[in-house]
A and B are shown apart, each in its own frame.
Chain A
Amino acid sequence: KQEVTQIPAALSVPEGENLVLNCSFTDSAIYNLQWFRQDPGKGLTSLLLIQSSQREQTSGRLNASLDKSSGRSTLYIAASQPGDSATYLCAVKGNTPLVFGKGTRLSVIA
């Protein structure tokens, strides 16, 4: 049974810092891994999707990496801004439906 863990559960950083969010999964037989952002009371916004054959994806200040063999992914956010404050969710897709981690709640302090 696939399990997804995200560390840390919460993170508070001053504006401008670079930061890394971690995601680990127990079953490496995946099709892809997605990072989402969730704002309070809102739905999920897809940030990056990495196919199992890929090592990383980049979008603006965001970079996501995937090491399928070790069951790990990281989301790197460069030059953080207060508008980045949200909960970041990692989800993996294998033969089972999407399995989500509990998320990392990020606060960027101006």
Chain B
Amino acid sequence: NAGVMQNPRHLVRRRGQEARLRCSPMKGHSHVYWYRQLPEEGLKFMVYLQKENIIDESGMPKERFSAEFPKEGPSILRIQQVVRGDSAAYFCASSPGQVQPQHFGDGTRLSIL
């Protein structure tokens, strides 16, 4: 039973480009969460999705960031017009229900040149 799969593991972008981060949840999990970890900081919640619906996006920056979890395929975190401050590790987690344990992927390390 594969765990949460994130790709790519490392992503390098130049300022102004777009970054797309993908997350495939564990089999049977319909709840997906995205977190960001800045250097020397804890993980901060960004967005919570449940198949085709955004449940909570209170942690998402208001501009340039968007997330989706389509009926088919992985969840996508999209960052438009990236800036240096977007450099971080982005983690995805999935769970079978809202209050059940979340299982984390290995993250995508985004570097902005």
Q: How many Å lie between the Cα of A36 and that of B41 in the bound state?
A: 15
Q: Are A89 and B42 in contact (CB under 8 A)?
A: yes
Q: Are A89 and B101 in contact (CB under 8 A)?
A: no
Q: How many Å lie between the Cα of A1 and that of B102 in the bound state?
A: 21
Per-residue interface assignment for chain A, residues 13 to 24, with 1 indicating a CB less than 8 Å from any chain B CB and 0 otherwise? 000000000000
Q: Are A89 and B43 in contact (CB under 8 A)?
A: yes
For chain B, give the interface size range.
Answer: 20 to 34
Contact of A43 among B99, B101, B104 (CB under 8 A): B104
Chain A contributes a number of interface residues (CB within 8 A of B) equal to 23
Q: Are B105 and A97 in contact (CB under 8 A)?
A: no
Among B80-113, those with CB < 8 Å from A are 91, 93, 99, 101-107, 109
Main DSSP-derived SS at the A contact region: strand
Q: Are B105 and A43 in contact (CB under 8 A)?
A: yes
Contact of A99 among B45, B106, B107, B109 (CB under 8 A): B45
Residues of A with C-beta under 8 A to B40: 102
Contact of B103 among A32, A41, A46 (CB under 8 A): A46
Closest Cβ neighbor of B40 among chain A residues = A102
Q: Are A97 and B41 in contact (CB under 8 A)?
A: no
Q: Flag whether B33 is at the interface (Cβ < 8 A).
A: yes
Q: Flag whether B52 is at the interface (Cβ < 8 A).
A: no
A98-B102 contact in complex given A43-B91, A44-B91, A89-B42, C-beta closer than 8 Å? yes
Q: Flag whether B18 is at the interface (Cβ < 8 A).
A: no
Q: What are some 17 contacts across the A-B interface (CB < 8 A)?
A: A4-B42, A34-B101, A43-B91, A43-B104, A43-B107, A45-B104, A46-B103, A46-B104, A49-B101, A89-B42, A93-B99, A97-B45, A98-B33, A100-B35, A100-B44, A101-B42, A102-B41
Taking Cβ atoms with an 8 Å cutoff, the residues of A that contact B are: 4, 31-32, 34, 36, 41-46, 49, 89, 91, 93, 96-103
Knowing that A45-B104, A89-B42, A100-B35 touch, tell me 18 more A-B residue pairs with CB under 8 angstroms: A4-B42, A31-B99, A36-B104, A41-B109, A42-B106, A42-B107, A43-B91, A43-B104, A43-B107, A46-B103, A49-B101, A97-B56, A97-B58, A98-B33, A98-B35, A98-B93, A102-B41, A102-B42
